[in-house]
Structure formats: C-alpha cells, structure tokens
Amino acid sequence: MIIVIALKELRSMFASPLAWVVLAFVQGFLANVFLKQVDTFMIIQAQLARTPNAPGLTELAIVPMFGAAQMVLLMSIPLLTMRLISEEKRNQTMALLVSAPVSMTQIIVGKFTAMVAFLCLILALIATMSFSLLAGGAIDLGLIAANLLGLLLLGMAFSSIGIFISCLTVHPVVAAVMTLAVFMGFWVIGLAASDPGSWLNWVSISKRFEGFLDGYVSLPDVTFFVVVIALFIFLSIRKLDSERLSA
C-alpha cells in the first residue's frame, strides 16, 4: 500500500507543472554553477600543477555544486511538500484516505517515499554532471559518493519536516511559507554556530552537512539525520492519528 500511495503522489506531482519547473530550476541553476567552476579550474589548472597538495578537479568543480544544491533544496522542497497533506485536507480528500483500509503510518511513509523518489531523480541529474568529467580527467569517486549521501540525507530531513508542517494547516501556501521559515531558521543556526564547541553545532543541519562536503561520513552526522527524519515522520503520524480520533 505504501508503494501505491507513493506512485499516486509521483503521478500527481508530474501531472502538474510544479515538479517540472522545480526540476528545470534545479538543473539550470546547478549546471550554471558547475560550468563556472569547471571554467575556473581550466584557467588555474597550470598554476595548480605547480602547487603541492593542491585541490583537484573534484574539490574545485564538483563539491561547490553540492554546496549550492543545499540552498536549492532549501528553497525547492517547501514547494513540493506544501501540498502533500494540506491539499488533501483542503480538497476534503483526506477523509477518503482516512476511511480507506490504510494506516496513518502507510499514508505518511507513502508520501515520504514519493519525495525520496523525487530527490533521487535530482541526485541522478547531479551525479550525471559529476561523472561527465570522467571523460576529461580523474575525479574522486569517494568524495562524490559522500556528497551524494549527504545531500540525500539532507533532502530526506527537509522532506520529513515539510510533511509535518503540511499536516498542521489546510493551506498549501501557508505550509510552504512555514516550512521555508523553519529551514531558514536552521540555516541561521548554522551561521551562528561559529564556535566548533558550541551546542548549536549539534542541532545545525547545515553544519552536519559540511562534513559530507569534505568527504567525511561520520556516524554522529548520519545518526543526526536519521533521528530528524524519524522524529518528524513520527510527529506527522501522531498528528493525523489525533485528527482521525477527533473526527
């Protein structure tokens, strides 16, 4: 049933122009960043060859694209998650889902799975750009894999938060604005966490993502993202369960 709900959501996404606009924006923006970084690398390549321990093609051309992708997801995911639950409530189709022989867990996990599938499509486009450089030089596949994993976990965390906020309102636009405000709050926390020993580093999503950009896949960072994802999926399920009991 989870797969059925996920496929329904994916069909709904691509039936509207929003998903295509988001994909076009992500691809266009990140391709522009990627090409600019490749041009910069080509200009300074001779200088880098004379510099000991100089950064390579992956660090200068690919990693900045993943850094930019963090902000792209921050702006794009609220537009995708805003309608997942709130639009069901506004169109009064949520009652049909609730009365169907499915649990709230299946509904939330199904919609979350659809978001993960959409994120994987974005990651596939980013990976394609990264691996295109294999035709002209050597790249650090391990560093790219760490960045892809970090970006997937980041997108999943953002999606779980967005779904929960979508459960709180019947207005998709309000859900999008609230989700973006929460994401910006996390971003501000990351800016404020200048001291490595500050407790803000423990709750900053952006700071947790920085380790993946450097190629480090640490257990605390992975655990942090898994806990955030599980927490907000659980809160979403509890929210819908409470509404079902009060109905």
The per-residue pLDDT for range 171-200, each reduced to its tens digit, is 888 999 999 998 888 887 777 766 666 666
Apex 48 CA angle, 45 and 53, nearest 5: 145
Sole residue written with tokens 């690398």 = 41
Query: What 3-state DSSP class applies to 156?
Result: helix
**Which of 185, 188, 151, 182 has its CA nearest to residue 165?**
182
Instruction: Check whether 207 has a pLDDT greater than 90.
Output: no
pLDDT tens-place string over residues 27-57? 999 999 999 988 888 888 778 777 777 677 7
Sole residue written with tokens 């910006």 = 184
pLDDT of residue 53: 72
User: DSSP label at 180?
Assistant: H
pTM of the model: 0.90
**Token representation of residue 118:** 């959409």
Q: How far apart are CA 190 and CA 213, in angstroms?
A: 15
Instruction: Check whether 241 has a pLDDT greater than 90.
Output: no
User: DSSP label at 62?
Assistant: I
pLDDT tens-place string over residues 65-74? 999 999 999 9
pLDDT of residue 148: 95
pLDDT of residue 198: 65
- Find the DSSP H helices in 50-171: 57, 63-81, 86-90, 94-99, 104-131, 141-166
Instruction: Check whether 95 has a pLDDT greater than 80.
Output: no
Q: How far apart are CA 175 and CA 165, in angstroms?
A: 6
* C-alpha Rg value of the chain to the nearest Å: 20
Residue 4, number of CB atoms within 10 A of its CB: 11
User: Per-domain residue ranges for the chain?
Assistant: 2-246
- The identity of residue 222, as a single letter, is V
